[in-house]
């Protein structure tokens, strides 16, 4: 009886485990199948952009998975029509410098909010947070007038200036710094570290994951910026790649071939960043949500 009791589960166990194992295997397979389907769904537009960039104008609308007459004509036309290399460099400078400055101003401001209590600190923080709710289109024209008065129209510097500080960076970093153990900061202070050293030698190295995630978010969002460059840039040479792509959409019809070629070239840097920093990109979106 006792044996049976012991034996029953012993006999039953492998069966249950096998069933569980089989069910788990099926679940895993179904999960993988779903992921594969979702991946195809997500990647297909990118693939279609790539293959369309190799299709000549008169075969652009064919539905074969690979061009029947592959050609580099669209790339030639795109490069001839707009200064793609210059636009990509402008976009890179715009995105990289904006990212560095937003991180810098964000770290300093967040440190102030997280570290000290000062009169009206909550009010100021709320003010910063509220600026996040104001769409850029609302302040676009005042910014434009200011840039025009400064004589900086049609320059990459003018693109960068309104982007050197951002509420998102301040709020995200302030939140991260508030969650940092106070004991560690106190220990550093007892060792004689100044606030400057506490920030750069204690806080920043320990928050590098958050900072890296934020940097990726800022970079991608600036890379995709459209309205501000559209208003500000007066020449293709001083504009960014998103404007260059839009230039192929005209009142006389859209030039899909060169547009796809330019889009392919424009997406390469972001694609490279994504491949290299895949884990951080995913984490950044999980931590802060999609802007």
Partner 1 sequence: MLRTSILACLLALSTAVPALAQTMAPSIEQPVTITFYNYNLAAAGLGAEATQKLINEFMAANPNVTVTGVPYGSADGSRIQADLAAGLPVDVVQTVFSDLDFSVTNFGAQALEDIVPAGEIATHLQGMHPNGTKLGVLNGKTYGLAYTFSTPVLFYNADLFRAAGLDPDNPPKTWADVKSAALAVEEKTDAEGFTAGITGPSAVDWLFQGVVRSNNGEVISRDRKTLKFAEPEAIEAVAMLRDLYDAGVYENYDFAGAVDGMASGNLAMYLQTSALQGSLVAGANGNYELRSSTMPRFADKPTRPNNSGSALTIHTTDPLKQRAAWELMKFLTSEHGYTIITSEIGYLPLRPAIVTDPKYLAGWIADHPLVAPNLEQLDRLEPWDPMPGANYRQIVKTMMDAVEMSIFGGADVATTLADAQANAQALMP
Which positions lie near partner 1, rule CB under 8 A?
Answer: 57-58, 60-61, 78, 81-82, 141, 144-145, 148-149, 153, 230-231, 234-235, 244, 247-256, 258
Instruction: Select 5 or 251, whichever has its Cβ closest to partner 1.
Output: 251
Instruction: Select 78 or 170, whichever has its Cβ closest to partner 1.
Output: 78
Instruction: Select 102 or 264, whichever has its Cβ closest to partner 1.
Output: 264
CB of 161 to partner 1, least distance (A): 15
CB of 185 to partner 1, least distance (A): 47
Backbone phi, then psi, for 209, in 5-degree steps?
-60, -50
Q: How many angstroms separate the most distant Cα atoms in the chain?
A: 95
CB of 164 to partner 1, least distance (A): 21
The three-point CA angle 259-260-266 to 5° equals 90
The single residue listed with the structure tokens 């397979």 is 29
CB of 90 to partner 1, least distance (A): 16
Instruction: Select 210 or 238, whichever has its Cβ closest to partner 1.
Output: 238
Instruction: Select 109 or 245, whichever has its Cβ closest to partner 1.
Output: 245
Instruction: Select 64 or 250, whichever has its Cβ closest to partner 1.
Output: 250
What the block records as the tokens of 227 is 């309205």
Instruction: Select 103 or 156, whichever has its Cβ closest to partner 1.
Output: 156
If we measure between CA atoms, which residue out of 156, 129, 286, 139 comes closest to residue 222?
156
CB of 229 to partner 1, least distance (A): 12
CB of 258 to partner 1, least distance (A): 7
CB of 135 to partner 1, least distance (A): 15
Instruction: Select 81 or 124, whichever has its Cβ closest to partner 1.
Output: 81
Backbone phi, then psi, for 52, in 5-degree steps?
-65, -30
**Which letter does DSSP use for residue 249 in this model?**
E
CB of 94 to partner 1, least distance (A): 19
């Amino acid at each position: 009886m006792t044996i049976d009791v012991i034996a029953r589960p012993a006999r039953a166990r492998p069966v249950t485990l096998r069933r569980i194992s089989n069910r788990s295997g099926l679940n895993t397979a179904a999960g993988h199948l779903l992921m594969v389907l979702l991946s195809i769904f997500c990647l297909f537009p990118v693939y279609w952009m790539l293959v369309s960039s190799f299709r000549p104008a008169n075969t652009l609308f064919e539905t074969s998975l690979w061009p029947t007459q592959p050609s580099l004509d669209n790339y030639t036309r795109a490069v001839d029509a707009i200064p793609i290399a210059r636009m990509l460099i402008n976009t890179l400078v715009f995105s990289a410098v904006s990212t560095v400055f937003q991180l810098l101003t964000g770290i300093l401001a967040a440190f102030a909010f997280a570290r000290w209590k000062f009169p009206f600190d909550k009010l100021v923080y709320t003010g910063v947070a509220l600026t996040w709710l104001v769409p850029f289109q609302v302040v676009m024209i005042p910014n434009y007038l200011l840039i025009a008065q400064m004589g900086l129209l049609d320059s990459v510097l003018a693109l960068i200036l309104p982007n050197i500080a951002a509420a998102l960076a301040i709020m995200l970093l302030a939140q991260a710094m508030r969650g940092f153990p106070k004991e560690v900061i106190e220990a550093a202070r007892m060792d004689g570290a100044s606030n400057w050293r506490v920030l750069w030698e204690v806080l920043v190295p320990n928050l590098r994951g958050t900072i890296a995630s934020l940097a990726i978010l800022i970079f991608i969002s600036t890379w995709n910026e459209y309205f501000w460059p559209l208003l500000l840039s007066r020449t293709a040479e001083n504009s960014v790649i998103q404007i260059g792509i839009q230039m192929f959409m005209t009142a006389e019809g859209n030039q899909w071939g060169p547009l796809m070629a330019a889009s392919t070239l424009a997406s390469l840097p972001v694609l490279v960043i994504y491949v290299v920093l895949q884990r951080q990109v995913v984490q950044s979106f999980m931590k802060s949500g999609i802007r």
